[in-house]
Amino acid sequence: MNLEAFFKMSYGIYLITSKRGGELSGYIANTAFQVTSEPPKIAISCHKNNISTHIIEESGVFNLSVLEKDTDAGLIGLFGYQSGHEDEKFERVDYKLGNNGAPVILSHSIAYFECKVVDKFDVGSHYLFIGEVTDGELLAREKDPLTYSYFRNEMKLMAPERAPTYVDKNKLKKFQDENQQEEQNKVEVSEANKKDLGDKYICTICAFVYDPEVGDEAMGIPPGTPFEDLPEDYTCPICAAAKSMFISDN
């Protein structure tokens, strides 16, 4: 089985939200798709162990914001990788309450849909919720949506562990070691050219790559800073993991 075959499936990137009483929830998802047009229905796949899943189950509603291509990685980090109080996350973004009472994220959103859950299927690790669209709006006609391939190939991010499309990093690495010697060689050549600044380091939580040539503008680290010289309280700009959670890509 070639795990990389899965990387050729295409998806969008969405922010799915819900609300139970006064409790707001939101998370980044790529597995959402329209399943019927009359009436319009959207399916989403949610991990059974996620709080958001229980909130959607109990409230019977969810909203889905379509993120723009130029979405700030910080927004994806906030709702995709960082744990913490959901209310604090919502304080850091623009949102409104939809007609179904659940929040609708407006930051970096180009369209949204409000949905009422009409079906739920147990698919093993995840539930597949079917939501009938009860409302929706186009927010930015001229902007393109963020796609999963752009998220993975250009933003260099990986699906978190509970995402339906998660690929085990160890299994993938084993596969790549066995089958992609050419890729390895390219990496070695580029590393040889950058030896003076030391290795790139990869966040083991979200796969963010710290490149000493580039530095980390979001965290105030100038270009040309070797990983070893980063302050001890440096954290991943995407998922807030500690410096100790990074490994050399060498």
Distance CA 250, CA 232 (A): 21
CA 232, chain centre distance (Å): 26
CB-based contact 131:82 (threshold 8 Å): no
Q: Which is nearer to Fe ion, 46 or 203 (CB)?
A: 203
Task: With H, G, I as helix, E, B as strand and everything else as coil, classify residue 37.
Answer: strand
5-13, 16-24, 201-209, 227-235 -> range binding Fe ion (CB under 5 A): 201-209
Q: Which is nearer to Fe ion, 13 or 236 (CB)?
A: 236
CB of 190 to Fe ion, least distance (A): 22
Distance CA 236, CA 157 (A): 12
Beta strands in the chain (DSSP E): 14-20, 23-29, 32-37, 40-47, 61-67, 95-97, 103-105, 109-122, 126-138, 201-203, 209-210, 246-248
> Is the CA virtual torsion 213, 214, 219, 220 positive or negative?
positive
Q: Which of 205, 210, 216, 230 is in the footprint of Fe ion by CB under 5 A?
A: 205
Tokens at residue 97, please? 């309450």
Q: Which is nearer to Fe ion, 127 or 227 (CB)?
A: 227
Interaction mask 206-245, Fe ion, x per CB under 5 A: x-x---------------------------x-xx-x----
CB of 77 to Fe ion, least distance (A): 7
Instruction: Name the H helices within 81-122.
Output: 86-91
Binding of residue 159 to Fe ion (CB under 5 A) = no
Distance CA 201, CA 61 (A): 40
CB of 82 to Fe ion, least distance (A): 9
Q: Which of 203, 225, 227, 234 is in the footprint of Fe ion by CB under 5 A?
A: 203
Tokens at residue 67, please? 């993120």
CB of 234 to Fe ion, least distance (A): 11
140-148, 180-188, 205-213, 219-227 -> range binding Fe ion (CB under 5 A): 205-213
Q: Which is nearer to Fe ion, 24 or 163 (CB)?
A: 163
CB of 194 to Fe ion, least distance (A): 21
Q: Which is nearer to Fe ion, 24 or 76 (CB)?
A: 76
Q: Half-sphere exposure of 152 toward its Cβ, with a 13 Å CA cutoff?
A: 19
Q: Which is nearer to Fe ion, 114 or 216 (CB)?
A: 216
Q: Which is nearer to Fe ion, 40 or 74 (CB)?
A: 74
Distance CA 40, CA 113 (A): 10
Helix (H) or strand (E) segment spanning residue 80: helix 73-80
Residues near Fe ion, by CB under 5 A: 203, 205-206, 208, 236, 238-239, 241
